[in-house]
Amino acid sequence: GWFASHASPVWGLALTGSFAPGRGEIESIVIADQSGHVFSTVRSALSPQDEDAFASWLADPTQSKVCHGAKEYWHGLHGAGDFRLVGVTSDTVLAAYLLHPDQRDYDLHDLALRYLGVDIAEETQMLPGLGGSDGLASAAAVVVPLAEALRSALKDQGEDGALLDLELEVSSTLQRMEETGIKVSDTRLEELRTDFHSRVEAAAEAAYEAIGHEVNLSSPKQLQTVLFNELGLPKTKKTKSGYTTNAEALADLAVRIAEREDDQALAGQTFLGALLEHRDAIKLRQSVEGLQRSVLTDGRIHTTYQQAVAATGRLSSTDPNLQNIHARTEEGLQIREAFIPGNGFVGLMTADYSQIEMRLMASLSGDQELIDAFNHGADLHTYVASRVFGISEDEVSGAQRSRIKAMSYGLVYGLSAFGLSRQLRIEVSEAQRLMDDYFSRFGKVRDYLNHLVDRAREQGYTETMLGRRRYLPELTSTNRQLREGAERMALNAPIQGSAADIIKLAMVDVARDLKEAGLASRVLLQVHDELVVEVAEGEREKVELLLRHDMGGAADLAVPLSVGIGYGENWRAAAH
């Protein structure tokens, strides 16, 4: 009956409960109208009639709703009785993220204090997610004026609402992807766990054999005794507790003693090799165990995408992180084999952008040579190498191509000659010469990169193609390290951020168009520049056409967006 006596152009919604995909639950519900009148209840106290009224209000797209973390609320509501949350016109987490992309979190207390001068905490210490309906009441009442204040702050920055609307669409696309999850093969995961466990034990045995006794390979103190006292190896960097035994220092140490052939050095090499293998194998075993623990009763893993974490606009994945199962290592590929289509589906399809950052570099810089390289349809790195080294494409060696590839991607990440020399293991002067030769051929790229930093220094921020800003106050710092770090970000943010914008646009379009075409196939994962789709029987060709169309048309650049597509019986087999 409360809705009947209250009308509002926009409503605030606040909930407590559990907001994990696939296992959401709701405890308390608070709805506030625009004037701050509040309806507050615990879920268990709702009568069947109240529950129906609440459900139809939630599912009514004409009832505008504002909340702080809509995606989490969606999972809570979905798990609590299959409620459908639609009509969210603003999410104060996403609006605050667009305004302050470098902030670590977006606490409602802080935002209310900063933008409205309202201290919710004075009423009570409670916040959504922690229980206590008083704090919840003020949270629901405060989100409507807060959403207005954030929208107007975005408007002052020249953001016309398109970016916030995109983030809201991304949020509702992610809700469905998280809720759907991805099927895994229990038997394949268990085989891998056993295999990695054997590798852990074999590496430990090899390490003990090299030194003639057992030692706790996870204890830095015991390792220091073995490495620097027993084996007499050169000391690594000094720390509070002795000398560092981190992976980088040990790999460096292995290189330093590789030339020596005395017994101590040989024992050291064997021990270090076994120790590094032991660490790798433990990490692999842990990641498989983490995946096993994440499988819900539906046999699927439901990751959570974090939409307001990476300052560049990229998504990250957590609980478990499915974006770090690398396609570049054999073990990563083995783990990908465990991801399979679910019942009623016949395969997985992957679609990714090839060289999207380099294509953006060509398009944004307007460098005709680079644009021609893409439109020429040749292998980009071979083509660029032939121009830099002044030789024909078929004369370019594998090593020359690798150097140019590292150089090209390095530029996007603000790599210095020193950084390039370390990456390629060449002299700094040689790396500098490589950069100079590159820029003499692709001058507009250099001008564009210099212009980016100068402009960011003047304005205090960088911008992506869609106008996503990243503020970099350290650009004018007197501290050289801070300043150079900010300069690297100024080079990287517009290109990486524009790539993030493009994949978001593509993902939203693909998910929507699959549904509108009446296809049962669905988007399951986004892994940086790649989408993973679960394909239903008889739909493979239609899905591929749709992916090529939507991903290829997500942005209008001076060079084509190239989309690679693969299909197979598991995630590894779907690579291309």
Dihedral sign, Cα of residue 435, residue 440, residue 441, residue 446: positive
Residue count of the chain, please give it.
576
Highest mean pLDDT among 123-132, 150-159, 447-456, 513-522: 513-522
The H or E element containing residue 266 is: helix 263-294
- Three-class SS state of 119: coil
Question: 541 exposed, middle or buried (CB, 10 Å; 0-12, 13-18, 19+)?
Answer: exposed
- Three-class SS state of 8: coil
Give tens-digit pLDDT for 485-537.
898 889 888 999 999 999 999 999 999 999 999 999 999 999 989 999 999 99
C-beta separation of 561 from 502 below 8 A: yes
pTM of the full structure:
0.89
The pLDDT score that the predictor gives to residue 404 is 87
400: Cβ–Cβ under 8 A, 6 or more apart, which residues? Answer: 385, 389
Q: Is the pLDDT of residue 550 over 90?
A: yes
Give tens-digit pLDDT for 179-198.
999 999 999 999 999 999 99
Q: Which amino acid is at 90?
A: S
Q: Which amino acid is at 395?
A: E
Q: What is the DSSP letter of 184?
A: B
121-142 CB burial, b ≥16 within 10 A, e <16: eeeeebbbbeeebebbbbbbbb
Q: Could you count the other beta carbons within 10 Å of the beta carbon of residue 1? A: 8
- Of the candidates 146, 193, 183, the one whose C-alpha atom is nearest the C-alpha of residue 12 is 146
Residue 1: band (very low, low, confident or very high) from pLDDT cuts 50, 70, 90:
low
- Three-class SS state of 73: helix
Q: Which residue has the higher pLDDT, 293 or 259?
A: 293
The pLDDT score that the predictor gives to residue 413 is 72
Return the minimum-mean-pLDDT range out of 93-102, 124-133, 220-229, 344-353.
Answer: 124-133
Q: Is the pLDDT of residue 314 over 90?
A: yes
- Of the candidates 480, 517, 501, 485, the one whose C-alpha atom is nearest the C-alpha of residue 554 is 501
Q: What is the DSSP letter of 212?
A: T
The pLDDT score that the predictor gives to residue 246 is 82
C-beta separation of 343 from 185 below 8 A: no
Which domains are seen in the chain, by residue range? 2-180 (3.30.420.10), 186-294 (1.20.1060.10), 306-354+501-568 (3.30.70.370), 357-498 (1.10.150.20)
186: Cβ–Cβ under 8 A, 6 or more apart, which residues? Answer: 292, 295, 299
C-beta separation of 68 from 165 below 8 A: no
The H or E element containing residue 522 is: strand 522-527
Highest mean pLDDT among 243-247, 250-254, 571-575: 571-575
Q: Is the pLDDT of residue 416 over 70?
A: yes
Q: Which residue has the higher pLDDT, 126 or 281?
A: 281
Q: What is the DSSP letter of 205?
A: H
CA distances from 468 to 127, 160, 462 (A): 29, 11, 8
Q: Which two tokens stand for residue 99?
A: 């305004």
Q: Which residue has the higher pLDDT, 527 or 439?
A: 527
470-500 CB burial, b ≥16 within 10 A, e <16: bbbebbeeeeeeeeebbbbbbbbbbbbbbbb
Give tens-digit pLDDT for 89-134.
999 999 999 999 988 889 998 999 999 988 876 554 333 333 344 5
CA distances from 340 to 82, 195, 320, 344, 535 (A): 26, 20, 17, 12, 11
Q: Which two tokens stand for residue 6?
A: 């209250």
The pLDDT score that the predictor gives to residue 437 is 86
The Cα–Cα gap between 74 and 79 comes to 9
The pLDDT score that the predictor gives to residue 420 is 84
Strand pairing category for 304-306 and 316-318: antiparallel
Q: Could you count the other beta carbons within 10 Å of the beta carbon of residue 305? A: 22
The Cα–Cα gap between 25 and 14 comes to 14
SS (H, E, C) 368-401: HHHHHHHHCCCCHHHHHHHHHHCCCHHHCCHHHH
CA distances from 449 to 364, 375, 419, 495, 530 (A): 10, 22, 17, 10, 26
The pLDDT score that the predictor gives to residue 134 is 59
Q: Which amino acid is at 564?
A: G
Q: What is the DSSP string of 284-339?
A: HHHHHHHHHHHB-TTSEE--EEESSS-TTS--EEESS--S-S-SSSHHHHHHHTTB
Residue 541's Cβ-side half-sphere holds a number of Cα atoms within 13 Å equal to 1
339 forms bridges with which residues in the sheet?
184
C-beta separation of 412 from 312 below 8 A: no
Residue 33, by phi and psi: left (phi above 0), alpha (psi -120 to 50) or beta? Answer: beta
The pLDDT score that the predictor gives to residue 126 is 37
